[in-house]
Amino acid sequence: MNISSAVVKTRPEHLDAVKSALLGSGLCEIHFSDEKGRIVITIEGDDDADEATKLKKIADLPDVASADFAYTYRDEAGA
């Protein structure tokens, strides 16, 4: 299992709509946001490709300016 954090950026006027879309997507959890339009999320996936696919879907949500991985943890104990 992989767990990654990412930073999603949007314009401040779209912050609430993007946060709602993220929550409704089922792709991630939100941990922090600020008035500048930055949102810190975590994504869980079976492997790197699964997480990358989820991040791409997040980046394609309406009013998302960017979505970039910040940190990735991979549990290889079960591998």
Q: Which residue has the tokens 């600020």?
A: 34
pLDDT of residue 43: 98
pLDDT of residue 78: 55
pLDDT of residue 77: 67
Burial of 8 (0-12, 13-18, 19+ CB in 10 A): buried
Look up the pTM and report it: 0.91
Q: Which two tokens stand for residue 63?
A: 């009013």
Could you list the mean pLDDT of each consecutive 10-residue stretch along the chain, which spans 79 residues? 96 98 97 98 95 98 98 77
Q: Where are the domains of the chain?
A: 2-74
Burial of 5 (0-12, 13-18, 19+ CB in 10 A): middle
Question: Which CATH number applies to 2-74?
Answer: 3.30.70.920
pLDDT of residue 16: 98
